[in-house]
Amino acid sequence: MSKLVDIKGLTKNYESITALYNVNLELESGHIVGLLGPNGSGKTTLIKILCGLLHPTSGSVQVDGHDIGVETKSVISYLPDQTYLDGNMTIRDIFALFVDFYRDFDINRAFNMLNILKINPDAKLKTLSKGNKEKVQLILVMSRRAKLYILDEPIAGVDPAARDFILNTIISNYDPSATILISTHLISDVESVLDDVIFLQYGQIALHASVDEIRSREGKSVDALFREVYRC
Amino acid sequence: MSWNLDSDRPIFIQIVEHLQYDIVSGYYQPGQRLPSVRDLAAEAAVNPNTMQRALSELERSGYMHSERTSGRFITEDKGMIDELKRQLATAQIEVFLQTMKRLGLSNEEIQVLVKESMKE
C-alpha cells in the first residue's frame, strides 16, 4: 500500500534554531494519529510543512505520492491553531466561500452539523463564543472530503461538553480511507480516539506506536507515559 | 464518554469485555442486530478502527457474526452465551477471593460474610 504521508530526513532550521532534525515518518490511510509533544518540540512546524506553509531546509516530504504543492493542498483539510477567517463574515458566507474554494466541501453536511449545534448560520463569526468559533471551524474542516485532515490543537480552550462534541464529530465524520492527524497537549481527552501516537521531542520523533501497544507494554495510559517522558 | 474505560489498560480489550457484558446481560438479545461500527464507536467515544478490531475478535470467537449486506448480529446460541456468563462470573469471583485472602479471611469466614451481605 502506498504511504499517505512519507517524510524522509526532514530538517527545518529557523536561522540558528533547529525546529526539526532528520525526521522520518510514514503514515498510512485510515488512521487517527495523535501528534504529541511539549511546547517547542516542533509539532506546528511539522504541520505547517505538510500544509505547504513552510519549506523544509532539507529532506523530502510527500503526501499522497506528490511533493508538497497544489495536488497535496487539495487533499489536505487543515485546521490551524489560529483562525484566518474574517470575523465580520456570517457563517453562511463562510460556507459559500468554502464551496468556491474546495471542490470536496459538502455544504449539506456542514449545515447539518451546524443545526445539531443550534448555531445560527446568519450570525457573524466574531459574535460567537470561543467554543462555538472552534466548533464552526471544525465543521468547515470536517465537511471536506479530504484524504488527510490535520487538526492543530482542535480542543484547546473549550469546555468538556464541547470537547465531547468535537471528538464525536471527528469519529462520526471520519471516513475510514482518510487519515486524521491531531496535535494536542490534552492527551487524556483524545487518547481513546487515537490509533497511533507520535511523541516529538527536541525536533525528533521520540516514539511512534499504537495506543494499545503503549498501554499493554507500559501498563499505563499514553497520558501517564507522556508525563513521565517529558517530566520537567 | 458513556463507556467509562480505564486509562491504563488496552482499549481494545476493554471494548471486547464491555460488549461481552452487554451480550450476557441481555442488553443485546440473541440474534439481535448490532449498531454500525461508526455508531458504536461514537457511543463509546473510541476510535472506529479499535471498535472494528474488537467486533472482529468477538466474531472470531463466535459471539457475533456478519451477514454480508445486512449487518452484524449477536449469536443465537444461548448455550454459548450462558457459558460466557459463567466464565465472566468465575473471573470476578476469583478477583474477589484474592482480595478477601489479602484481608486475611478464611474460606469459612468469607462464606459467612457473603451470606450476611446477601440477606440485606
pLDDT above 70 (res A188): yes
Q: Which three cell numbers stand for residue B24?
A: 450476557
- Dist CA B44 CA B50 (whole Å): 11
Identify residue A38 by its one-letter amino acid code: P
Q: Which residues of B touch A217 (CB under 8 A)?
A: none
For residue A188, count other CB atoms closer than 10 A to its CB: 13
Tell me whether A160 touches chain B (CB under 8 Å): no
Contact A96, A121 (CB under 8 A): no
Which of B47, B52, B55, B57 is the best substitution to test chain A (most A C-beta atoms within 10 A)?
B47
Q: Which three cell numbers stand for residue A3?
A: 504511504
| Chain B: closest CA distance from residue A217 (Å) | 9
Query: Is the ipTM above a cut-off of 0.90?
Result: no
Mean local confidence (pLDDT), B18-43:
94
Question: What are residue A27's DSSP bridge partners?
Answer: A5
Contact A44, A206 (CB under 8 A): no
Contact check, Cβ <8 Å, A31/B49: yes
The CATH topology of domain B11-76 is Arc Repressor Mutant, subunit A (1.10.10)
Q: Which residues of A touch B15 (CB under 8 A)?
A: none
Confidence grade of residue B1 (pLDDT, cut at 50, 70, 90): very low
pLDDT the model gives residue A186: 84
pLDDT above 80 (res A51): yes
Q: Which residues of A touch B51 (CB under 8 A)?
A: none
Q: How many CA atoms lie within 13 A of A17 on its CB side?
A: 8
User: How high does pLDDT run on average in chain A?
Assistant: 91
Mean local confidence (pLDDT), B36-59:
93
Contact check, Cβ <8 Å, B45/A167: yes
Predicted confidence (pLDDT) per residue in B79-119, tens digit: 999 999 999 999 999 999 999 999 999 999 999 999 999 98
pLDDT the model gives residue B113: 93
| Chain A: closest CA distance from residue B97 (Å) | 23
pLDDT the model gives residue A155: 80
pLDDT the model gives residue A1: 53
Nearest to A172 among B5, B42, B49 (CB): B42
pTM of the model: 0.85
Confidence grade of residue A61 (pLDDT, cut at 50, 70, 90): very high
Question: What are residue A209's DSSP bridge partners?
Answer: A197
- Dist CA A82 CA B70 (whole Å): 44
Identify residue A204 by its one-letter amino acid code: Q
Tell me whether A31 touches chain B (CB under 8 Å): yes
Helix, strand or coil, per DSSP, at residue B85: helix
pLDDT the model gives residue B24: 95
Task: Lay out the sheet containing A196-201: strands in order across.
Answer: A76-79, A148-152, A179-184, A32-36, A196-201, A204-210
The full 3-state SS of chain A, as one line of letters, equals CCCCEEEEEEEEEECCEEEEEEEEEEECCCCEEEEECCCCCCHHHHHHHHCCCCCCCEEEEEECCEECCHHHHHHEEEECCCCCCCCCCEHHHHHHHHHHHCCCECHHHHHHHHHHCCCCCCCEHHHCCHHHHHHHHHHHHHCECCCEEEEECCCCCCCHHHHHHHHHHHHHCCCCCCEEEEEECCHHHHHHHCCEEEEEECCEEEEEEEHHHHHHHHCCCHHHHHHHHCCC
| Chain A: closest CA distance from residue B118 (Å) | 35
Interface of B with A (CB under 8 A): 1, 5, 7-13, 38-39, 41-42, 44-50
